[in-house]
Structure 1
Amino acid sequence: MNVANERHCDVLVIGSGASGLAAAVTAAHQGLDVLVAEKTDQLGGTSAWSGGWLWIPLNPLARAEGIEDSEQAVEAYLRAELGVDALDERQRAFLRHGPEMVEFFQRHTQVQFQSGSRMPDMHDSPGAARGGRSLCALPLDGRRLGPWLQALRPPLDLISLGGMGIAGGSDLAHFLNASRSPRSALYVAGRLLRHWRDRLLHGRGLHLVNGNALVARLLRSALDLGVSLETGTAATRLLQDGQRVVGAELTQDGRNFKVLARRGVVLACGGFPHDRQRIARLFGHEHLSAAPETNTGDGLRLGEAVGAQVAEDLSSSAAWAPVSRVPRGDGRFSGFPHLMERAKPGFIAVTRDGQRFTNEADSYHDFMNALFRATPDGEEPAAWLLCDHPAQRRYGIGWARPFPFPIGRYLHNGYLKKAASLAELAGLCGIDGERLQATVAAFNANAERGMDPEFQRGASAYNRSQGEPLHKPNPSLGALSNGPFYALKLVPGSLGTFAGLRTDASARALDDRGDVIPGLYVVGNDMASVMGGRYPSGGITLGPGMTFGYLAGLELARQEVTPSGSAGQTRRSSPCAAP
């Protein structure tokens, strides 16, 4: 790009995750000139690594399927989950406009969804649903992005097979059953062969799923609408005319320039999962995030510098998840997020005293909150995830893949522990051996009957959905009875952060008096959690993120700003031009 000292556009979006792209696409559809600035060389942020699920109650896909739900049930569920008597204006705006957002993208863009009709809410609170409130993007052929495919952040290498994403539902079921079903084995072989063919010919897989498909569809939509996309372009300062935010200073390839945005600026930088200073102040414990390392809190700092306020009074400051420390070879570690296998038969989690501390099949956020409560003051939270040999070969344990992948490298580098007996395994891990054996014996006896009187694992709809449907009598409970046995250490991590900038129901940033900062919008994890730091269901990050991105785009299209900075009449913008 030939960078001029100054560029002009209607809307500047800083960050390229699903929330920021939703704002960009919506604004561009309304006729505005939009520039998206991404500080890394890859587009998509954490969204491109995610499962890609959105929680949107009463969405049009569920209604088309005839799934029964109601506004009263949804509000009752949220009130119970959030511990409030009434929903606030942002929560009401999310529920009211979420289905509208889905309808907009389905009707006017390349973003197409599929229903999560069998994905239940995470808790059996009043108003909970057994399915129909979640959806995700349909898979996409990467060739539809053309040369922009190479700029799309690939799936997270730790949890993908050589860069190949695996979707939930039938796709994942085939991979888990490949050693048991000839049909599934044939399906998996075909997927792997196509993936490696695509990597050989195109440098990456072309069958895009999950969050990769969502971001790809948003990118295709943005390109169709003429949105300008700039990678390797970081924002260093917001520009103001009086109180109004009118653009930003950006840097690209060591050169600085200004972008003046007639309508406003949208912060969508992905929160602060790798801002070590803010983490140390808010978390108080070790933290190994599964988000990209470049998500260092830029949006929060930019907003604070012009008077925006970070909400730190939330139930949780992050979307907690247990992670295991994967050695990278340079003395550092990456965090493998344990989202799935904990709920499968043949797994159990204990602290160093050899005792269970929670329902292993509960959500990742609940699992970590339980570990925090179980950790004595002054100690770093940690737990051990254990399984027997059939469970490891069937489901894998963390980074150690299931059959037919060998596990020698994981044992050699210390990531995974293996022993012929539980007592020996306890010695390797520093766990109380006698208590561990007693814990597993009691767990096994109850699991054989499909019961967990201690933590009720497998009792909730969410627990059962995360288990193994072919396993009886309880899909989430199975004894650890066939050695050798395996273990790995779990430490605190997150999928993203919740403490963000305060906004109103139109995603406009607020100052310390609760007044709107003109021209500044905040979406995604830069926005304070709409759920107050709680985690009622899967998709409560991307669902509100895209909804408020959509609302920000609409609000920006309503605003007309004269050169003096005062609001005028709405009009369609003329094309952006650099002088």
Structure 2
Amino acid sequence: MMPAHETYDVIVIGAGAGGMTAAAVAAAEGLRVLVIEKTAFAGGTTAWSDGMVWIPANAKMKEAGLSDSVADAVQYLSSTVPETANAGLRAAFLARGPEAIAYLEANTEVRLQLVKAYPDYYPERLGATSGGRVLAPVAFDGRRLGEGFARLRPPLPESTLFGGMMVDRLDIPHLRSVGKSLRATMRAARLVLPYALQRLRSPRGTTLHLGNALAARLYASLLARQVEFLFSADVEDLSMQGERVSGVVIRHGSRDRPIASRRGVVLATGGFSHDAVLRKRLLPAAAGFVSAANTSSTGDGLRLAAATGAALNTDATSPAYWVPASLFPRADGSRGVFPHMVTDRAKPGVIAVNAAGRRFVNEALSYHEFVLAMLRDGNGEPDQPFHLICDRRFLWDYGLGRIRPFTRRYRRYVASGELIEAADIAQLATRIGVKPSTLTATIVNYNADAEEGRDPEFGRGSTLYQRHLGDISHKPNPCVAPIVRAPFFAMRIHPADLGTAIGMKVDAQARVLRADGTSIAGLYACGNDMGSIMNGNCPGPGITLGPALVFGYIAGRHLAERAMTFATTPATATTSV
């Protein structure tokens, strides 16, 4: 269906968290908004994510009696993001973050709740907190979207239970204790019974959590404001009037059509995680071509902006945000990518080994730091093999990758090649292509100290963050246990990105900049189309969604506050690059 109008106040390209936030704010301020999405769904990578939003000194912390301040956050970022590049954007983020959340909760369907116990990733640094800077979306009833529920991007199948039931992270411990605890078993029943009823009317559960809830809340906000959506449409070019962006040229089906924008265009297409040319140009060769981001993130925004003279922000310590990932075949024949973020690596009784069969990293570090260690160890060589190693007890208690805890029938994963099984460590070494003597020595050395809960080689379990990801019921160290019970297992992991950090240069109003620092009138960017304000560093959970919401808010407000509107006659499109 083509748009109902030829002219809008604001056009947003991309329906992820950043784009939908910009659209929601502009619409709440009374502007006519069109959202153009290249896929058939709203939500982008956000709909697959954990939905965490990092906002220091937020009002909910104060309400809960947790201490934080912008000064503390500045001190923390001074050591975790030490580069001077983009300091002004970080200052804008810290200053306006609480304001953005308050606005969204007052004017949209967005509702966030405090996560009291989720430490910053470097809790030993000055200015760090043990919790509260992270906000999580409140669960959302998908039935409120009506027919729009079919347009919300579903979560990844691997993140649901029973073919479509989403679970809040706080319920995961209860599910792991079903049959062991009456309280946990009753809680699980209260989750499963409503889900069974929901499936009578819906192809999946309608109680939404995590990033799917955040995407749904933003989408619901746009539907409530009568924001128009154009799905399955490509933006061919940006229209120009002189040096100002005045609209877009879309390809929908077999037709090209110009659509004008009175105030501006917001680029929020999700970065370039799945563009082979840009990956080869901007990411290290050792990173390969594995990404956990949505497949629609193919650099569209960067190419559109480049044709207007926009500059890339390449001041990044890391060009992407990384996560170790395992690959597996789905039933439909597609390749699945499972990001090993928090469910297994830090639990007691698993280690990671490199191509030589030796440990190379503290497995309980953040997912970003873990992959940086993989890239260093690989010495720039693509496709270097890395594996997680565990025993039968670990697989049963914690699962591995997409294999859930308490899985009895795990041999189908072995048959597909996703999980490698062996009767002893020497045999396992042979099956993953390393010297049996090396892997045996690695396990023996690790086990000798793990019996006492120690890891003198890497210090695993030595920080609050690492212990938070471990198993608090395991003593004396929630992150360390020996690997002793046959059979033994290995799972190959790859460096993968969660999203790209290199994007367009913008100013504190989210306006896209040229190389000389001047802004391109009528052009804004947020989300992963905007260069990382953290320069590719990852100081805490929600470090991409936090800035996406805040700069989406800033863009929407700036578009609404501009006193001057412009002529709307469509102009000649720029030439694509």
TM-score by length of 2: 0.94
Cross-structure match for 2:575: none
CA distance in 1, matches of 2:185, 2:436: 39
Cross-structure match for 1:336: 338
> SS at 1:342's partner residue?
coil
Alpha carbons 2:2, 2:230 under 8 Å: kept: no
- CA positional deviation for 1:523: 0.3
- CA positional deviation for 1:519: 0.2
1:531 to 523, 530, 534: 534
> 1:244/1:557 Cα in 2 relative to 1: closer, same or farther (>3 Å)?
same
> SS at 1:343's partner residue?
coil
Cross-structure match for 2:81: 82
Alpha carbons 1:309, 1:501 under 8 Å: kept: yes
Does the alignment pair 1:296 with 2:295?
Answer: no
- CA positional deviation for 1:309: 1.4
- CA positional deviation for 1:211: 0.4
Amino acid at match of 2:74: E
Deviations 1:207-266 (A, max 9, x none): 100000001111111122221122112211111101100110112233222221101000
- CA positional deviation for 1:275: 0.4
Cross-structure match for 2:271: 271
CA distance in 1, matches of 2:254, 2:179: 52
> SS at 2:291's partner residue?
coil
More displaced 10-residue stretch of structure 1: 523-532 or 295-304? 295-304
Amino acid at match of 2:87: D
> SS at 2:6's partner residue?
strand
1:311 to 310, 313, 322: 313
CA distance in 2, matches of 1:68, 1:313: 32
CA distance in 2, matches of 1:303, 1:16: 18
CA distance in 1, matches of 2:248, 2:408: 49
Alpha carbons 2:358, 2:442 under 8 Å: kept: yes
Cross-structure match for 2:434: 431
Cross-structure match for 1:166: 167
Alpha carbons 2:2, 2:252 under 8 Å: kept: no
Does the alignment pair 1:512 with 2:477?
Answer: no
Cross-structure match for 1:287: 289
Aligned ranges 1:173-184 → 2 under 5 Å:
173-178=173-178, 180-184=180-184
Does the alignment pair 1:454 with 2:460?
Answer: no
Unmatched segments (≥5 aa) in structure 1: 567-579
Cross-structure match for 1:575: none
Alpha carbons 1:382, 1:492 under 8 Å: kept: no
- CA positional deviation for 1:522: 0.2
Cross-structure match for 1:248: 248
Aligned ranges 1:130-529 → 2 under 5 Å:
130-161=130-161, 162-168=163-169, 170-178=170-178, 180-283=180-283, 284-285=285-286, 286-328=288-330, 333-340=335-342, 341-378=344-381, 380-404=383-407, 406-529=409-532
CA distance in 2, matches of 1:85, 1:9: 38
Deviations 1:80-120 (A, max 9, x none): 00114697210000000001111111222211111011010
More displaced 10-residue stretch of structure 1: 25-34 or 90-99? 25-34
Q: Percent identity of the aligned residues?
A: 42
CA distance in 1, matches of 2:27, 2:391: 53
> SS at 2:234's partner residue?
strand
Alpha carbons 1:20, 1:523 under 8 Å: kept: yes
Deviations 1:303-362 (A, max 9, x none): 111111122231111111111121247876332111121011111100121211011011
> 1:86/1:288 Cα in 2 relative to 1: closer, same or farther (>3 Å)?
closer
CA distance in 1, matches of 2:86, 2:239: 34
Cross-structure match for 2:548: 545
> 1:140/1:564 Cα in 2 relative to 1: closer, same or farther (>3 Å)?
closer
Does the alignment pair 1:101 with 2:100?
Answer: yes
Alpha carbons 2:274, 2:291 under 8 Å: kept: yes
Alpha carbons 2:399, 2:407 under 8 Å: kept: no
Deviations 1:341-394 (A, max 9, x none): 101111110012121101101111100001111113545333100111111112
- CA positional deviation for 1:404: 3.9
Amino acid at match of 2:55: I
CA distance in 2, matches of 1:84, 1:214: 31
> 1:182/1:440 Cα in 2 relative to 1: closer, same or farther (>3 Å)?
farther
Aligned ranges 1:20-59 → 2 under 5 Å:
20-59=19-58
More displaced 10-residue stretch of structure 1: 442-451 or 96-105? 442-451
CA distance in 2, matches of 1:308, 1:326: 39
CA distance in 1, matches of 2:554, 2:245: 18
> SS at 2:239's partner residue?
strand
> 1:85/1:235 Cα in 2 relative to 1: closer, same or farther (>3 Å)?
closer
CA RMSD of aligned residues (A): 1.8
Deviations 1:397-455 (A, max 9, x none): 11222214521221111111011211111111112221212222222222222221111
Unmatched segments (≥5 aa) in structure 2: 570-577
More displaced 10-residue stretch of structure 1: 396-405 or 216-225? 396-405
Deviations 1:155-209 (A, max 9, x none): 11233322332222x2121122235324323433442343344234211211100
Alpha carbons 1:11, 1:265 under 8 Å: kept: yes
> 1:93/1:374 Cα in 2 relative to 1: closer, same or farther (>3 Å)?
same
When the two structures are aligned, how many residues end up with a matched partner? 564
> SS at 1:489's partner residue?
strand
Cross-structure match for 1:556: 559
> 1:208/1:14 Cα in 2 relative to 1: closer, same or farther (>3 Å)?
same
CA distance in 2, matches of 1:565, 1:334: 45
